[in-house]
Structure 1
Amino acid sequence: MTALDWEEVKRLAADFQRAQLSSTSQTLSERNCIEIINKLIELNLLDVIFTTDGKEYITPQYLVKEIKDELYVNGGRINLVELSHTLNVDLSHVSAKAAEVERSTPGCVIIMGQLIDQNYTTHIAQEVNDRLKSHGKITVADLTRTYDLPSDFLQSVVEKNLGKLIDAKQDKSDNRVFYTSAFVEKNKAEMRGVLTAITRPTQVANILQACDIQERDFYFAFESLTEEKQISGVLTAKQGGNSIFIPYVYTKQQNEWVDNFYKQNHYLEYDGLIRLGISEPVMFVRRHFPNVGLIELTTCAVGPHLINLLENSVEETLLTGSYLDTMMMLPSVLTTEDIAKLVELVLKRCKNKSAGNVQILCETVLVTEKFIQELMKPFHEKGIIQQKAEEVVASGQYMQILVERKLNKGGGGRDDHHEDTKAERREERRRKAATGKGGGGTQGRETKTKSVKKKHFEKKGGGRGDHEDSEGRLELFTVDEVEAELGKQLAEETEDLVKELAEQVTPLLNRVAAEEAARVFERSAATGAEARRKHHSQLQEFVDMKLIEIRLCEKGLKHFPSNGELQAKLGTHLVKSVGGDVANALFGFIGREMCSRSVDWEATSIEARAKVLTEISPDQGREHLTKLHKVLTSQAPTVDEFMATVEQAFAVADLIVKKPDKKKEK
């Protein structure tokens, strides 16, 4: 718009004003006025704003003036929607002119549809300062709820007025928190008094509840007091209500108790340290005793003094060949695993110092080989081993085992039992050659039995004779028998220890008894061989006489009529009587030599001969003996049938049928 046009507008406005103020004889109607104004607006000669009802016009300058007036009346903050209703002007025109006011007025700003001026922000700063004086601390979140304005705007208002209208400090860890120096000093003084009065570990949550202080304020005051060295204690964590405050006086007493307990007992129990308030006992022990050389176990830490005592006792036990119950000299808090670890450590140290094998019984008792041998002495001195060996040889059980072994060796294949037995013997030799670890126990309470690796004694003697396989199966002693005998020697020991000792001694006794049985058998075999040769010679003479008797009787029978029944009956009687005596003597000899000795083979009969046939094997001549037995048990045996079978039957017993001697028969 040019200057001439603007002058024209002013002139027209003046004319319009004069026209309104002057009274004329002629007036314009409302419609004419509206048309004139519309025409001026179309010609851009007039800039006006319609009200929402369309009945009034206002200029933009007047609208700006009205907005500023309303802003002042409302204390520097007004909502644009409410302002639109108040001025009866469309919201778009109000928003546009409010933006002009924001640009032209310093400190004026539009936020969330609200127009705010500098006076209102100053008022906010003054109110914040008043609240800080009364409460000592304020947060931007509190201001947001109070003023219903964005947190960023309110924080900027507070930050701009810090040190000016607002006498406070901003929290370094959280820039949305502001506090006064008096508030900080008050918290520090309160915390100083409370923490100084505490003499035992206390949770921070309990301190906060007792002092009615916020967690953030507590940690802030604690850090300040710590930097100033006005607190005699530490926190287990820097944040959280589960943190625990531990005063130095308690830590000092705690360390003194630990030192005194260790000096008196030479070990530290982890559970005891936990009850004392130490949350990580293992780390505490490592930190508190860095150069002592403690042995860390599952339940406690053991000092070198106890280890040396145990080592000396073990060395003495190995040298004297006795036994040692380690539980009696170790703390009762140790578990079986702990004792096993200590015993293993001590045995490694003693390995090159003291000779002798050792094994662990009842998980805590160390037993030497010499002590085991001492336990076996009464069995030798009382003749128990000799008696057992003689009984097993006399009963024929030892001979039967040898025969079974010989038969098993003679077989082409090996059954599963033989393979299992061989594997068991190989595993037994491996275990006895190895050195194992011992177990532990608990003192004064019931002990659970666990599988424990043991150091077994090696067998003396490298080779195995033919009789040793049978010895492995020959059990002359039972565990119960050995336990009863050991109970007399160890009357003061527990039943569990005596039982486990019996389990260890029984295999050794069986081995020694089997060796003794082998010697007894060899002696009896030597004397029995001579008796057998004598008996065999007597049997040969007996059967020779009987055969001569049969031949002589046979010749006499030939004088009887051959077509009569008398000759046949006499022949049958001769075979069953004299031939029966020959067969009974033969079967009795075979029964004593080849069959079980539990049967009295002297009382021979038909049933006894049948039993002999069931006892011997086919390769022992059962077929020839069966033929002889059938001839004797038939209805009418003849002398020829008897003589035809007796020669082969004699061969089973290494007997011979001599040819007839004419001179002896005469």
Structure 2
Amino acid sequence: MLSGSTVKGRLEGGQLYTPAYVSRITAMVRGAARGITVPTNLPSVWNSLQQQLQEMHGASGVSVEGSFFQSIFNGLLKEGSVLGSIRAGGQWTPAVFAHAQKESVDAFFSQNSYIGYDVLQKLAIPQPKQYLEARYPDGIALDAVFVHPSVVDMLDTAVGDAIDNGHWIDSLSVLPSYITGPDATRILSICPSLQKAIKSSKAVVFGESCVFSNVFIKGIFDRLEKDMDSFGIGHTVGQGRPVNMNLGSEHKTGSGQYSDTKDLGDNDASSTGVSSDRGSKKKRGKGTGSAKGGSLEKDDDNEESIPVKGKKAHRKNKDAGSSGDVKHGGKKASEKMKESTNVFPDELIEQKVLAVAPELEELGGSDDSNVPLKLLSSHLRPMLVDSWMKKRNTMLSGNAERRRRLLDNLQKQIDEAVLDMQLYEKALDVFEDDPATSGILHKHLLKSMGTPIVDKVLLTLDKDRKLKNGMEVEDSEDEHIQLSTADRTSLVKDLPGALSLKAQALIEALEGKRFNSFMDALRDILEESGLTFKKLDKRLERTMLHSYRKDLTAQVSSENDPVSFLPKVVALLFLQAYNKALQAPGRAVGAIIALLKDKLPASTYKVLADYHSTTVKLLALQAAATDDEEDCASDRMREKKEDLEERLMPELKSLVLGTTKE
């Protein structure tokens, strides 16, 4: 418009716009801006307005630049005609949308005490974690969600109650379902009750979410310790190293997040801290998993702990320990660790733990080594091993005296038996020219004298092995126990290396045909066992023969049984003839009498031969006898017995004893 020399209008981008036109465009921009309720890119809005103007004025219409729309919009924003915020690049967020965002976030957070970052992303809020931290300074930003402090308070109350009452608790059973394992670990780490319990050595955390009071752990340990004999522990031969017979495998243990672990209760100190870095989310319990039966008898003893700062410190301590082992016997330390695993494998401990605390079964069911039940088992293992070793060492110290008495008693019995066997062995030389009789006498000595001493030696060495290895052994008398070949072989297999070989050779010699070979094998095993094989010298032999002669003479003089009399009188006559002690079975008596023919007076030999012949006939009649009263065999037996008792026995006694006295 022209008014004199003044032109009223607005110059923009090289074009002059009249106030009316500007007013109309301003109304369009205001209406468009107020109609926007979601974040919008303004250049796209200006393009839409340009198209509307072209449609209204056609090709002859004025072309309005986007900068003109933007200039008008900036003016409206400045004067407050439109409300909202604009970012670089023309991204417009109307105030109504920002208010709706705020109201939505506030409503969700106040109702649920948490909000997920994905919810904010759906509301077009960039950098949701920073937004929430700025809006709620007291809130806690986790990996997946942002939670209200009341969630921590709720968990802290439950954890504190579980610890104070000697229970265990899975925090996932208390926390809302949207909080996963890693976030549960984060919340646990800031619970005041847990921090206090860790510092005072009252609790330990296994996996990502499970808190165990040390009272509960000690209760399980005490019950497992009492039941330790059922673990099926054996011992390797020689070194006495314990080996579990039920299971055997290597196991991994979780690393400590908050503090290192140590033994508790009777083993000096408790383990307090968090084990495991990450693990799969565990099955949810009902309420505070422990409150239903996870409590064991409470112990007021507090244990010590040595805290470390995270994994870095844990690694540093581990490296320092390993370097020390290199200097002071690292090989021995590694053997001890391997021994620990062999004695109490995690799988076995898991079974025993579930037997005394079946409610912990919900914590298993995974091959992950960071499952809480596995970590608890790994935590208990060194405690059990230490207790077992203490018990074993105590038993070993007590067993030392028992071993000494056991071996002293064996040595005394061996001394007597070995001298007797050497004495009777000398009589075998007389029969070298009679292989048949010699074989009978060798086998008789092996059976009558060798078998008892072999059984005694094997049983004693087996007891000694068990006592040496700290095993329970009953103080039972086994003097009259006769072993089978299978029993002997079984005992031999349990003996250590060289001793086992010597024992096997002894068994083979016992089942052989030569008594002298047996004596050599017996000498070898006694020397291997540290026992003495006492040799029979001439002086001792004379003393023993004198005593033997005296005892045998008394037996012959007092014997009234005609059958039992024969071998005794033959042994006495053999002693008189050869000055050697003889032990022979009944079937060898005939051959011995024949050998004595040239050594005895004719009258004595005749009576002895008649006595032997009559005795053989009597025994044959007794073997063939029946219960028939009309059988004439009974009369014949009576006649033979009377002949022996009334005629031959007195005559033979007179001849033999008279010769002895002379």
- Structure 2: stretches of 5+ with no match in the other structure: 54-64, 244-248, 263-271, 286-309, 315-331, 473-477, 547-662
Matched letter for residue 350 of structure 1: Q
Quick one: distance in 1 between partners of 2:273 and 2:234? Answer: 33
Residue of structure 2 equivalent to 1:250: 97
**1:473 aligns with one of 342, 363, 376:** 342
Secondary structure of 1:246's aligned partner: strand
Deviation per CA, 1:70-92: give whole Å up to 9, x if none. Answer: xxxxxxxxxxxxxxxxxxxxxxx
1:191 aligns with 2:29: yes
- The structural deviation recorded for 1:186 is 1.9
- The structural deviation recorded for 1:219 is 1.6
1:650 aligns with 2:650: no
**2:217 aligns with one of 349, 367, 372:** 372
Indicate how the Cα distance of structure 1 residues 260 and 603 shifts in structure 2: closer, same or farther if over 3 A, else same. Answer: same
8 Å Cα contact 1:401/1:470 also seen in 2: no
Secondary structure of 1:183's aligned partner: helix
Quick one: distance in 1 between partners of 2:494 and 2:217? Answer: 43
8 Å Cα contact 1:540/1:655 also seen in 2: yes
8 Å Cα contact 1:273/1:281 also seen in 2: yes
Deviation per CA, 1:502-554: give whole Å up to 9, x if none. Answer: 43443465556556655765676678667766665664455445445434444
Quick one: distance in 2 between partners of 1:207 and 1:443? Answer: 56
Quick one: distance in 2 between partners of 1:633 and 1:529? Answer: 34
1:586 aligns with 2:457: yes
8 Å Cα contact 1:550/1:578 also seen in 2: no
1:279 aligns with 2:115: no
Deviation per CA, 1:628-666: give whole Å up to 9, x if none. Answer: 56655665x364x55555434333342442533533333
1:405 aligns with 2:241: yes
Residue of structure 2 equivalent to 1:342: 187
Secondary structure of 2:187's aligned partner: helix
Matched letter for residue 232 of structure 1: L
1:298 aligns with 2:149: no
8 Å Cα contact 1:358/1:455 also seen in 2: no
Deviation per CA, 1:172-229: give whole Å up to 9, x if none. Answer: xx55x55554433221111122323444444543674377366444323212323443
Deviation per CA, 1:254-313: give whole Å up to 9, x if none. Answer: 334444444444444332233334234344335545xx3333333343344444444455
Quick one: distance in 2 between partners of 1:304 and 1:537? Answer: 75
- Equivalent pairs, count: 458
Secondary structure of 2:188's aligned partner: helix
Matched letter for residue 48 of structure 2: Q
Quick one: distance in 1 between partners of 2:406 and 2:135? Answer: 90
8 Å Cα contact 1:628/1:646 also seen in 2: yes
Q: TM-score, normalised by structure 1?
A: 0.53
**1:230 aligns with one of 71, 78, 81:** 81
Deviation per CA, 1:92-127: give whole Å up to 9, x if none. Answer: xxxxxxxxxxxxxxxxxxxxxxxxxxxxxxxxxxxx
Q: How does 1:10-409 map to 2 (within 5 A)?
A: 170-171=11-12, 174-175=13-14, 179-204=17-42, 205=44, 208-209=47-48, 212=52, 215-239=66-90, 243=91, 245-289=92-136, 292-327=137-172, 330-346=175-191, 350-351=195-196, 355-361=200-206, 363-376=208-221, 379=223, 385-389=225-229, 391=230, 397-400=233-236, 403-405=239-241
Quick one: distance in 2 between partners of 1:454 and 1:313? Answer: 30
8 Å Cα contact 1:201/1:250 also seen in 2: yes
Quick one: distance in 1 between partners of 2:364 and 2:508? Answer: 62
Quick one: distance in 1 between partners of 2:73 and 2:220? Answer: 72
Matched letter for residue 52 of structure 2: D
Largest Rg, 1 or 2: 1
- The structural deviation recorded for 1:231 is 1.9
Indicate how the Cα distance of structure 1 residues 317 and 453 shifts in structure 2: closer, same or farther if over 3 A, else same. Answer: farther
- The structural deviation recorded for 1:338 is 3.0
Quick one: distance in 1 between partners of 2:281 and 2:457? Answer: 69
Q: How does 1:524-563 map to 2 (within 5 A)?
A: 536=407, 539-540=410-411, 542-557=413-428, 563=433
Quick one: distance in 1 between partners of 2:98 and 2:255? Answer: 57
- The structural deviation recorded for 1:369 is 1.8
Tell me the C-alpha RMSD between the 2 structures. 5.5
Indicate how the Cα distance of structure 1 residues 348 and 612 shifts in structure 2: closer, same or farther if over 3 A, else same. Answer: closer
8 Å Cα contact 1:482/1:506 also seen in 2: no
Q: How does 1:466-615 map to 2 (within 5 A)?
A: 470=339, 472-475=341-344, 478-482=348-352, 484-486=354-356, 488-489=358-359, 500=371, 502-507=373-378, 510=381, 514=385, 517=388, 536=407, 539-540=410-411, 542-557=413-428, 563-565=433-435, 568-570=438-440, 572-574=442-444, 576-578=446-448, 580-581=450-451, 582-594=453-465, 604=483, 615=494
- Structure 1: stretches of 5+ with no match in the other structure: 1-132, 134-162, 408-419, 447-451, 457-463
Indicate how the Cα distance of structure 1 residues 232 and 584 shifts in structure 2: closer, same or farther if over 3 A, else same. Answer: closer
Secondary structure of 2:543's aligned partner: helix
Residue of structure 2 equivalent to 1:82: none
Indicate how the Cα distance of structure 1 residues 296 and 355 shifts in structure 2: closer, same or farther if over 3 A, else same. Answer: same
Indicate how the Cα distance of structure 1 residues 369 and 652 shifts in structure 2: closer, same or farther if over 3 A, else same. Answer: same
Q: TM-score, normalised by structure 2?
A: 0.54
Quick one: distance in 2 between partners of 1:185 and 1:221? Answer: 10
Q: Comparing 600-609 with 249-258, which one deviates more in the overlay?
A: 600-609
Matched letter for residue 405 of structure 1: R
Quick one: distance in 1 between partners of 2:122 and 2:255? Answer: 48
1:664 aligns with 2:544: yes
Secondary structure of 2:204's aligned partner: strand
Secondary structure of 1:187's aligned partner: helix
Q: Comparing 606-615 with 320-329, which one deviates more in the overlay?
A: 606-615
